[in-house]
Structure 1
Amino acid sequence: MFATTPLTIAAVSAGLSSPSSTRLLADRLAEAARERLAVDQDRRVEVRVVELRDLAVDIANHLVTGFPPAGLKEAIDAVTAADGLIAVSPVFTASYSGLFKSFFDLVDNTALTGKPALIAATGGTPRHSLVLEHAMRPLFAYLRAVVLPTSVYAASEDWGSSGDEYTEGLPSRIRRAGGELASAVTGRTVSGASRALTLDDGEDAVVPFAQQLADLRVR
């Protein structure tokens, strides 16, 4: 029996294309957290996806006028009121995108205090994976969010690979990060969730990246 009050997770995607790998990663992380909460806690989860590409003009107007249009205010309220946050940006010039930064510039710097935050990024090459540590983690630490230990970077080649004996595949990293977020929003220790997620019942099916993007178009 599910608990009566659902938990809320805000998933912010700064992808510019439609469909985008950034949105795809945000959806996969949200689903991983939702599944873990359903299995371990019998908790329902409401996921609110915030597509920044749809708010780009409103974000620019707010930056110069100081007044958020209704749609942007609703998105900011969804992020600040959520029990947990997923924030995903594509990599531009070795950092998060300007659109991503502009949105979080509009969030009060105390509004995310204590909120569990799962950070993730997408890029064309694995060389940019450190963007999570040198750019995104400090940003959310400044905003006083509780940034989870596992961050997820997805290069183009990761979408069609299940990993090897030395490197975890993207599906496994998504499950671990989603499990940590599920643990954090319910007040459990993250380390316990991480240990549980290392017990895998089987191999992950590898779905070609083109097919994964095509699936987004029919939603």
Structure 2
Amino acid sequence: MAARVVRQYYYRKNNPNTAVVSHFTYGVPPELSGRTKTSPVATMGGSIFIILMLIISGFIIGLNIVNDKEEGTDNAIKVSPVSKSDYFIGKSIYPLLVTLFYTIIALLVLKLIHVNILQTYTVVLVSFGISLVFGLIQGAIAKNENEAIGFGKMLSMVVLLSILGGTLLPDKWQWAVWWSPLYWAYDILDEIFTETANWRGVVWESAVTAGLTGIYFLLLRKKIVKGLS
């Protein structure tokens, strides 16, 4: 940009009668005045980071379950007053706290702390169901930690395709990634960070995220119950 300005200056100096072919202005152009001043790198990066934290939380849940299976802790639970649901809730508390903590850290680092925090945490809490299903299916299928890591990597690649598609695909092809609950979570987070979201949109897309997560859980329920029993 600096070199271009210098060249234009000397060209105008040596050719004063030449018509001006370009103008340099400072500030935001009028046609972009309605856009948020937040950097697109921050808005997109914040959304992707939170999605990655949800996947990592699923990894933590799955690896903890597999570790308990290897050590026989799951068999001890069968003869204890602790129910299976209490066990899984307990396994989810730490990953949930990690996700909530790193969400606020991401907002601080990326200077997104001015966005609607309540909307952000609403989406994160609803989307955590994805982490739970991810961890349960990982823990049900894998017999050891190596299998859990391998399966988790494969599943992560599949779900991240939806984020890649949502970022790169044109609007008319967005339907191709509607199958993924993470796509809807990413989409509404991006709207929140660009300050174009409203509560109706947050509730609607969060409901879609929860609904798709519930459908996948019902489809995989027998496999999960069999693998964790």
Calculate the TM-score normalised by the size of structure 2.
0.29
Q: Which has the higher helix share?
A: 2
More strand by share: 1
- Alignment TM-score, normalising by the size of structure 1: 0.30
- Which one has the largest radius of gyration? 2
Question: Greater relative contact order (Cα 8 A, min sep 6): structure 1 or 2?
Answer: 2
